């Protein structure tokens, strides 16, 4: 699907920086495409967006997002097909989730046309930045933050919406060692865990660093009440293959409703793989491993895509999982997902928008 977009005012870069990019060696999140979209909210309304050269923004030291964290973001990806067309993956779902986060954080709802038309025009302008390289994509980061220069604690009256992008390769370079988090909490019932709020990530850094100091790449969050049930990992939702079934914690107010998570479950159902969305206890994982029934474990996320888990630290013990190359379910789903995203397989659920 390609939509004709009304033209948003554009200020182009005098000279592209694309020659700085080595398409065969793309590090995650370090080099940014030439342009960004900016729209401000003031006087009770979102203003006409503008596309401008990617660059620093000037902010008051009193900018309220910097103090009280009224800020939300999204992550999505665009790919190139064999003909060189840009294929945008499930952007409308990211737009809807952004507004769910906005509602929770008292940020005014963003109109669909600012997000979708702005995004389409930005992608056309920066088309050369979408890597054609297998396994790579253009990672797109929309975000909104409160811009009042005011030190009192209350929802801001002014906001800025920005979309910028960066070509990326793999987020995780190898199968992960993860550990169950028995003490710290990411999110509790009634909190903002389901929102993609900046503060959720900031508050997770300290427990994640402590786990990294113990030799694990990431931690697995457990429920705030009993530390008994598995929730999600630092940057991803979690999935397990137990005795041939794909099992994942159901989304709730404490877990982010991942779009990659949803895509993986849909592909699994399409393939006839049994799927269970339910509570998953730490004990169930330990017992399944002991019984030889824990066949696969992986994370899902836009940045992480499908990130294989090699080892899970549970109750003082490192549980090693079967070799990644033997993981038929996750490997076949990952391959199908990549084929859909890059236009090599049919798109039965209309996830792709050709730009």
- Which residues here bind ligand COI, judged by CB under 6 A? 75, 201, 235, 301-304
Q: How far is the CB of 171 from ligand COI (least distance, A)?
A: 7
Nearer to ligand COI, 144 or 304 (CB): 304
Residue whose tokens read 């009192």: 152
Least distance (Å) between residue 235 CB and ligand COI = 4
For the CB of residue 75, give the shortest distance to ligand COI in the complex, in Å: 2
Question: Contact, 314 vs 286, CB < 8 A?
Answer: yes
CB closer to ligand COI out of 192 and 303:
303
Closer CB to ligand COI, residue 235 or residue 254? 235
Nearer Cβ to ligand COI (267/303): 303
Cβ proximity of 39 and 47 under 8 Å: yes
- CB-based closest residue to ligand COI: 75
Residue 72 Cβ, how far from ligand COI at the closest point, in Å?
11
- The rounded distance, in Å, linking the Cα atoms of 353 and 294 is 37
Which run of H or of E encompasses 331? helix 328-341
Beta strands in 74-171 (DSSP E): 76-80, 86-89, 137-146, 159-168
The secondary structure of 106-128, three-state, reads: CCCCCCHHHHHHHHHHHHHHCHH
Q: Which is nearer to ligand COI, 193 or 319 (CB)?
A: 193
CA distances from 15 to 19, 32, 37 (A): 10, 14, 18
- Rounded CA separation 95/251 (Å): 18
Q: How far is the CB of 289 from ligand COI (least distance, A)?
A: 27
């Amino acid at each position: 699907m390609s939509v004709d977009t009304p033209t948003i005012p554009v200020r182009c870069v005098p000279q592209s920086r694309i020659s700085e990019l080595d398409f065969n060696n793309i590090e995650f999140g370090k080099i940014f495409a030439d342009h960004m979209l900016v729209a401000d909210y003031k006087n009770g309304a979102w203003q006409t967006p503008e596309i401008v050269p990617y660059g620093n923004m000037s902010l008051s030291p009193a900018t309220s997002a910097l103090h009280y964290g009224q800020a939300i973001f999204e992550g999505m990806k665009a790919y190139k097909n064999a003909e060189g067309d840009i294929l945008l993956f499930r952007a409308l779902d990211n737009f809807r989730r952004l507004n769910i986060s906005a509602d929770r954080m008292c940020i005014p709802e963003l109109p669909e046309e600012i997000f979708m038309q702005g995004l389409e025009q930005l992608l056309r302008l920066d088309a050369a930045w979408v890597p054609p390289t297998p396994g790579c994509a253009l990672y797109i980061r929309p975000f909104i933050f409160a811009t009042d220069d005011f030190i009192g604690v209350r929802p801001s009256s002014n906001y800025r919406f920005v979309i910028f992008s960066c070509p990326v390769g793999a987020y995780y370079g190898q199968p992960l060692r993860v550990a169950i988090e028995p003490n710290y909490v990411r999110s509790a019932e009634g909190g903002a865990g389901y929102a993609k709020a900046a503060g959720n990530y900031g508050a997770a850094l300290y427990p994640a660093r402590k786990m990294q100091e113990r030799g694990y790449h990431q931690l697995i969050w457990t429920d705030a009440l009993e530390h008994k049930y598995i929730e999600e990992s630092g940057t991803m939702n979690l999935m397990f293959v137990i005795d041939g079934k794909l099992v994942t914690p159901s989304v709730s107010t404490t877990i982010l409703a991942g779009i990659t998570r949803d895509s993986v479950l849909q592909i699994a159902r399409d393939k006839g793989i049994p799927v269970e969305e339910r509570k998953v206890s730490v004990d169930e994982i330990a017992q399944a491993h002991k019984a030889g029934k824990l066949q696969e474990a992986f994370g899902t996320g836009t940045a992480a895509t499908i990130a294989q888990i090699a080892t899970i630290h549970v109750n003082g013990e490192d549980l090693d999982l079967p070799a990644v190359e033997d993981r038929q379910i996750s490997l076949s789903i990952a391959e199908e997902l990549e084929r859909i995203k890059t236009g090599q397989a049919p798109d039965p659920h209309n996830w792709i928008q050709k730009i």
